[in-house]
Copies of this chain bind each other. A is one copy, B any other.
Amino acid sequence: MDDAAEQSLSHDLGFNLGVLFRAYVKASNGVVRDIPGGPRGYQVLVAAVCGEAGNQSALAKRLGIDRSVMTYLVDDLEAAGLVVRRPDPDDRRNRQILATDRGRATWERAEQDHRAIDAHILGPLPEADVPAFRDTIERLAERVNALDPLDSACEVVSDLAAAAVPADPARRAPRTR
């Protein structure tokens, strides 16, 4: 049986992932003020620059946001002159998101800032361990992406786990005191 005395929030992987993620977003927010949509706008820009944004829905899924949110995001990036939409010649339902010259220039500055953020977050690591750590994080993220669409994560954990939690309306009860 578990011993609560030996436990601590500090040893919780989920908690620590949250800490790092929030720290990253916060730092990113500080360096993307000229990019609409904040850190996520930056990620869309990265995808556009890298030619990985040929389909809004797929990109939205990859970034963990709704496709309708992606519409607003790309609207704003387009209005800022950082990207343009173009119908995919092969399937005209799809919109390809392409970076403009200005988008590329903006990306370049933001990209440098984000590498500096990386360095700050990973600062405590011995320099020699950084590439391996980054690689590990990337590998784990890849695997999780490959598995999660099937919701296999929760099968493993519990039969009760109906992973697509449908926003229980009673979750925050109307307070009556």
Contacts and interface: CB of A to CB of B under 8 A. Distances in A.
A29 B11 CA distance: 19
Copies of the protein in its oligomer: 2
A64 B92 CA distance: 43
Contacts of A76: 172-173
A47 interface: yes
A65 to B, nearest CB: 10
Contact of A30 (B38, B122, B161): B161
Among A51, A108, A141, find the residue whose CB has the most chain B CB atoms closer than 10 A.
Answer: A141
Nearest to A40: B18
| SS class, residues of chain A in contact with chain B | helix
Given A14-B28, A17-B17, A175-B72, A117 B33 contact: no
Interface string A23-63: 11111111101001111000100110111100000000011
A143 interface: yes
A53 to B, nearest CB: 9
B17 A148 contact: no
Nearest to A109: B158
Interface in A119-139: 120-125, 129, 133-134, 136-139
A116 to B, nearest CB: 5
Q: Name the 10 nearest CB pairs between A and B, nearest first.
A: A30-B161, A16-B141, A30-B154, A19-B141, A21-B21, A23-B144, A30-B163, A27-B153, A29-B165, A116-B157
